[in-house]
Chains A and B, each alone.
Chain A
Amino acid sequence: MWKTYLRQIRYLLKENKFFSLVYILGTALSITMIMLILITYYINTANIGVEDKRDRMFFFTRAYVVKPGTDATGDKFYDGLQSSSPVGHKLIEKYMYPLKTPEAKSLVVNMQSVVYNKTKQVNEEMSAISTDADFWKMFSMRFLAGGPFSDVDVKSNARKVVIDESTARALFGKTDVVNYPIDIDWKEYRVCGVVEDVPSYLSDAYAHLWLPYTTATSRFFRGGNNDLRDIQGPAKMYLLGYERSDQELIRQEMEHQIQKLNAPAKKSHFTLNHQPDTALESLFRMSSDPYDKIYTRMQVVLVVIIVLLILPALNLSGLIVARMKKRGEEIGVRKAFGASVWNIMGQLFLENFVQMLIGGIIGLCLSCGLFQLVRNTLLVSYRTAGNDLSVKGVDVLNFFHIINFSTICYVILICFLLNLISTLLPAWRYARISIVEALNRR
């Protein structure tokens, strides 16, 4: 039976080449568009490369200062908002480090450090992350030599640094460089570990140097200048839950801590504005908006996806109807020999699904190539600001980070939905036609 179907599909594809071409390209177009959005989503939120715990990672990235009693939703938020900035390291140290719900909690500052290259005898600007020991629990970096710095190192201001492979090669010509001295921001550090390069599109972990935040240059840690100066600064915080569902528990515990912070009545209050965010939520968080805007933005993207799905599907369904008209007798004959409505509908579905899959594969390849071309436009966002992407741009994406089990599943799912929308109505209409009428069409 299946063989017959497949043979028939091959025949159909050959019979009207132009029709097949238009049909397949129409599908490919729709799938390319949707896949560009879904790959952006995937690169930013899926467990890929060293960022393999994103599904249970949460982000606390912004400190919002508001008038006391400000409602955190809707337009009232704008009236009450006094300022919004990244988070101060003292707020994290004092109120967030004591959190008990998360498995790990890490303070992170993205910055540009100056590294002295002895071979070239020049100072070079490099992306660096100032952080603490928990950072290494968040990400699965592969150490080529040595290991990470410890909590004791951070607390004792030990000048230890983890560098990536390409930096190690550029500075020392090899990777086995544990305990070698390295001049960062005109201070001598010792290399304690060398890790494999992190591609720049994995923006939460990406840097060339990782150093204890207690040793970083002091100008990064100037406070804000209002009466809550400790809560604003250069930092953000990553929190690792035991499970995805820990988000709400962590939020509650953080809210509890914030109450302590806000307790002395002041002109200004700090608000979490519904943080911490999941990776997806943090993608949609803008600097000074109330948190419900995150979901509004997500809905807009969802509507765009639905439009991208439905518009071509409806148009393709026009093409299918045109072809069904021609195949009336065939359906009649099949029914006369005992095929049920479901048999016929199943066959029509399969026929179109196979054509769509061809379009889907073309679409996936197109979107893969296209994504590489427009990766700077799609992946440079405020989330990556502070990295050295201004000059270099986003690294070329690893092939398997674009084409893999998940993205192929997305394509199959989209093809299925497209097929369902475009074939259902014509198939239902023609499969129920009576035998006599179908045979009598011509």
Chain B
Amino acid sequence: MFSHILKLIINQWRGNLWILAELFISFICIWQVGNVFSSLLSHKLRDTGFDLEHVYRVTTAIREKDSPSYDPDSPLTDDWKELVERVRRCPGVESVGLTSYTAFPYTGSTNGRSYFGDTTRTTALRGQLTPDVIRVLHITSPSPEVDLVKETSTGQTCFLVSPQAMEQLYDKNTVRCRIYTKDERDKAYPGILCSYLTNEYADNNDNRALWEIWSEGRMIEKNANKDLTMLIRVHPDADHDFRETFLSTMRAQLTAGNLSIVNLTRMEDYRTYILNLSSINLMYGAGYFLAAFFFICAFLGIIGTFWFRTESRTSEIGLRMALGATRRQVRWQMIGEGLMLFGIVWLPAVIVSYVLRTAVWDNETLLSDTVLFITLTAVTTVLLMLLIVAGIWIPARQASRINPVDALHYE
């Protein structure tokens, strides 16, 4: 059977070239789409060290001096303290934290600076958080023995160090360390390893970060005039129409001095917005579409080619059936031909895919290269085989329905 099909293929090599090219290109295209997907997927599955469910970002606005109702006797620091306390007392609110504009999830900040270990140096993203932000975002540490909330709530300044930054300063297994800043080279601050990444799609350089933990008082003192951001975690039971409930129940308390709460945004919505803005969602969408597109193109090509071939080989099929071949055998012979053609093209396609593996997308995946390559190749192979069987089945079924007498009549 095997050598028989091979002979058939060789005899019609000219007609087969087209389908070989088709399968070759389809394999490479589907492989590449898979590569992009696996990369996006590995980012998506990354442990970001935070949890956005039931978290809201509170938008505030400051009354400026040019407003007639500006109150010169109400310093902004007092306004912030008052407002934070009011929000904390609001029913349904579990915890309230303050961060600088550069430190909350999906902020997209590239604000960085140099930090030092005992003998090493790194440039890392910077930003400030209050210990309560750890409660709000459920920030975790890769090391289970660390209780981040407890260790950072001492009132002293300390640092949360991301694994990538820790690797540069000490080594990746270090959990607690000493951090020195550029301005105070002789003062050591405690540093603790954390998993917090502000964006799972950021590349590895952007995951190097040192988050400074400031007490709430210090944060307000230093940042009240800048872009201070309030994040709140809401109790799951209270998180139904929370925005509306909050804005209406707090209506009379939303303004303290020159500071007002003007809006509440669900952090999950903010995440969607940022992923749209940075075209991550576009890449996912384009990936799905292109995968479907290559598939359907390959499907069309295979159907078209086999249609043509069965059409021109009707007499041969009739002859086979007259000589005792069953319809089933005829169909399987055709499918065998298709799969054999795929077999011929498989190795070159795999080799080219391997050579081009980083050409379209430099995959920064969690899997090692070899595992990824084998998985992708296996998945692509199985998918294309299914496609070939489906594409040949229909024309082969039509051809095998012919009456042998009719077919022989051609000759």
The answer to whether A and B assemble together is yes
- Residue numbers of B with Cβ under 8 A of A are 18, 22, 59, 61-70, 247, 251, 254-255, 260-263, 265, 269-270, 272-273, 276-277, 279, 281-282, 285, 289, 292-294, 296-298, 300-301, 303-305, 307-308, 311-312, 394, 410
Please give, as numbers and ranges, the residues of chain A lying within 8 Å of B65 by CB-CB distance: 218
Q: A382 vs B65: C-alpha distance in the bound complex, in angstroms?
A: 31
Please give, as numbers and ranges, the residues of chain B lying within 8 Å of A158 by CB-CB distance: none
A-B contact pairs, 9 of them (CB 8 A): A114-B262, A123-B254, A124-B263, A187-B68, A315-B301, A319-B300, A319-B307, A376-B276, A391-B265
Q: A317 vs B22: C-alpha distance in the bound complex, in angstroms?
A: 13
A319 close to B304 (CB less than 8 A): yes
Chain B nearest Cβ from A41, distance in angstroms: 14
Given A185-B61, A315-B300, A319-B303, list of 12 further CB < 8 A pairs? Answer: A18-B394, A22-B303, A112-B59, A123-B254, A123-B262, A125-B263, A186-B69, A217-B64, A312-B296, A380-B276, A385-B277, A389-B273
Identify which of residues 371-409 in chain A touch chain B, using a CB-to-CB cut-off of 8 Å.
374, 376-378, 380-382, 385, 389-391
A325 close to B311 (CB less than 8 A): yes
Tell me if A202 is interfacial: C-beta within 8 Å of chain B: no
B296 close to A186 (CB less than 8 A): no
Chain B nearest Cβ from A293, distance in angstroms: 15
B263 close to A188 (CB less than 8 A): no
Q: A18 vs B307: C-alpha distance in the bound complex, in angstroms?
A: 12
A125 close to B262 (CB less than 8 A): yes
Tell me if A144 is interfacial: C-beta within 8 Å of chain B: no
A377 close to B281 (CB less than 8 A): yes
Q: A351 vs B319: C-alpha distance in the bound complex, in angstroms?
A: 34
Q: A29 vs B277: C-alpha distance in the bound complex, in angstroms?
A: 27
* A299-321 interface code vs B (CB 8 A; 1 in, 0 out): 00000000010011011111101
- Residue numbers of A with Cβ under 8 A of B are 18-19, 22, 26, 29, 33, 36, 112, 114, 121-125, 185-188, 217-219, 308, 311-312, 314-319, 321-322, 325-326, 374, 376-378, 380-382, 385, 389-391, 442
Of A18, A217, A219, A318, the contact of B301 (CB 8 Å cutoff):
A318
Q: Which chain A residue has the least Cβ–Cβ distance from B275?
A: A377
Of B66, B300, B304, the contact of A217 (CB 8 Å cutoff):
B66
Q: A391 vs B251: C-alpha distance in the bound complex, in angstroms?
A: 20
B311 close to A390 (CB less than 8 A): no
Of B59, B66, B269, B308, the contact of A321 (CB 8 Å cutoff):
B308
A-B CB proximity, top 5 nearest? A318-B304, A315-B300, A322-B308, A186-B67, A322-B307
Chain B nearest Cβ from A40, distance in angstroms: 10
Q: Which chain B residue has the least Cβ–Cβ distance from A381?
A: B277
Please give, as numbers and ranges, the residues of chain A lying within 8 Å of B312 by CB-CB distance: 325
Q: A185 vs B70: C-alpha distance in the bound complex, in angstroms?
A: 11
Chain A nearest Cβ from B345, distance in angstroms: 17
Please give, as numbers and ranges, the residues of chain A lying within 8 Å of B255 by CB-CB distance: 123
Of B63, B251, B262, B270, the contact of A390 (CB 8 Å cutoff):
B270
Please give, as numbers and ranges, the residues of chain A lying within 8 Å of B298 by CB-CB distance: 315
Q: Is the interface of A mostly helix, strand, loop or mixed?
A: helix
- In the complex where A314-B301, A385-B277, A391-B263 touch, is A377 in contact with B296 (Cβ < 8 A)? no
B304 close to A322 (CB less than 8 A): yes
Please give, as numbers and ranges, the residues of chain B lying within 8 Å of A377 by CB-CB distance: 276, 281-282, 285
B67 close to A185 (CB less than 8 A): yes
A380 close to B277 (CB less than 8 A): yes
A308 close to B277 (CB less than 8 A): no
Chain A nearest Cβ from B266, distance in angstroms: 8
Q: Which chain A residue has the least Cβ–Cβ distance from B21?
A: A314
B297 close to A218 (CB less than 8 A): no
Please give, as numbers and ranges, the residues of chain A lying within 8 Å of B303 by CB-CB distance: 22, 318-319
- The number of A-B residue pairs with CB atoms under 8 Å apart is 120
Q: A312 vs B300: C-alpha distance in the bound complex, in angstroms?
A: 8
Please give, as numbers and ranges, the residues of chain A lying within 8 Å of B70 by CB-CB distance: 186
Chain B nearest Cβ from A265, distance in angstroms: 30
- In the complex where A187-B68, A321-B308, A378-B282 touch, is A390 in contact with B265 (Cβ < 8 A)? yes
A122 close to B61 (CB less than 8 A): no
Q: A185 vs B258: C-alpha distance in the bound complex, in angstroms?
A: 11
Chain B nearest Cβ from A288, distance in angstroms: 11
Q: Which chain B residue has the least Cβ–Cβ distance from A442?
A: B410
Q: A27 vs B282: C-alpha distance in the bound complex, in angstroms?
A: 23
- In the complex where A122-B247, A125-B59, A380-B276 touch, is A29 in contact with B285 (Cβ < 8 A)? no
Q: A374 vs B312: C-alpha distance in the bound complex, in angstroms?
A: 45
Chain A nearest Cβ from B255, distance in angstroms: 7
- In the complex where A122-B254, A125-B61 touch, is A318 in contact with B300 (Cβ < 8 A)? yes
- In the complex where A114-B260, A318-B300, A380-B277 touch, is A33 in contact with B62 (Cβ < 8 A)? no
Please give, as numbers and ranges, the residues of chain B lying within 8 Å of A187 by CB-CB distance: 66-68
- In the complex where A325-B308, A390-B265 touch, is A114 in contact with B61 (Cβ < 8 A)? yes
Please give, as numbers and ranges, the residues of chain B lying within 8 Å of A374 by CB-CB distance: 285
Q: Which chain B residue has the least Cβ–Cβ distance from A324?
A: B308
B289 close to A33 (CB less than 8 A): yes
B260 close to A123 (CB less than 8 A): yes
Q: Which chain A residue has the least Cβ–Cβ distance from B243?
A: A391
Q: A219 vs B70: C-alpha distance in the bound complex, in angstroms?
A: 14
Chain B nearest Cβ from A315, distance in angstroms: 4
Q: A391 vs B269: C-alpha distance in the bound complex, in angstroms?
A: 7
Please give, as numbers and ranges, the residues of chain B lying within 8 Å of A312 by CB-CB distance: 296-297, 300
Please give, as numbers and ranges, the residues of chain B lying within 8 Å of A391 by CB-CB distance: 263, 265, 269, 273
Chain B nearest Cβ from A298, distance in angstroms: 16
- In the complex where A123-B255, A390-B273 touch, is A22 in contact with B300 (Cβ < 8 A)? yes
Please give, as numbers and ranges, the residues of chain B lying within 8 Å of A325 by CB-CB distance: 308, 311-312
Q: Which chain B residue has the least Cβ–Cβ distance from A377?
A: B281
Q: A322 vs B15: C-alpha distance in the bound complex, in angstroms?
A: 12
Chain B nearest Cβ from A28, distance in angstroms: 10
A380 close to B273 (CB less than 8 A): yes
B277 close to A382 (CB less than 8 A): yes
B276 close to A315 (CB less than 8 A): no
Q: Which chain B residue has the least Cβ–Cβ distance from A316?
A: B300
Q: A312 vs B273: C-alpha distance in the bound complex, in angstroms?
A: 34
Q: A121 vs B301: C-alpha distance in the bound complex, in angstroms?
A: 65
Chain B nearest Cβ from A430, distance in angstroms: 13
Q: Which chain A residue has the least Cβ–Cβ distance from B57?
A: A390
Q: A19 vs B300: C-alpha distance in the bound complex, in angstroms?
A: 10
Please give, as numbers and ranges, the residues of chain A lying within 8 Å of B18 by CB-CB distance: 318
Q: A188 vs B394: C-alpha distance in the bound complex, in angstroms?
A: 74
B269 close to A390 (CB less than 8 A): yes
Chain B nearest Cβ from A123, distance in angstroms: 5
Q: A33 vs B64: C-alpha distance in the bound complex, in angstroms?
A: 49
Q: A106 vs B18: C-alpha distance in the bound complex, in angstroms?
A: 58
B277 close to A219 (CB less than 8 A): no
Q: A316 vs B297: C-alpha distance in the bound complex, in angstroms?
A: 9
- In the complex where A22-B300, A377-B276 touch, is A29 in contact with B66 (Cβ < 8 A)? no
Q: Which chain A residue has the least Cβ–Cβ distance from B22?
A: A315
Please give, as numbers and ranges, the residues of chain B lying within 8 Å of A218 by CB-CB distance: 64-66
Q: A380 vs B261: C-alpha distance in the bound complex, in angstroms?
A: 26
Q: A30 vs B69: C-alpha distance in the bound complex, in angstroms?
A: 60
- In the complex where A186-B63, A186-B70, A218-B64 touch, is A315 in contact with B254 (Cβ < 8 A)? no
Please give, as numbers and ranges, the residues of chain B lying within 8 Å of A22 by CB-CB distance: 300, 303
Please give, as numbers and ranges, the residues of chain A lying within 8 Å of B67 by CB-CB distance: 185-187
Chain B nearest Cβ from A46, distance in angstroms: 21
Which of B68, B254, B263, B294 has the largest number of chain A CB atoms within 10 A?
A: B263
B293 close to A29 (CB less than 8 A): yes
Chain A nearest Cβ from B252, distance in angstroms: 8
Chain B nearest Cβ from A309, distance in angstroms: 11
Q: A391 vs B273: C-alpha distance in the bound complex, in angstroms?
A: 8
Q: A57 vs B254: C-alpha distance in the bound complex, in angstroms?
A: 42
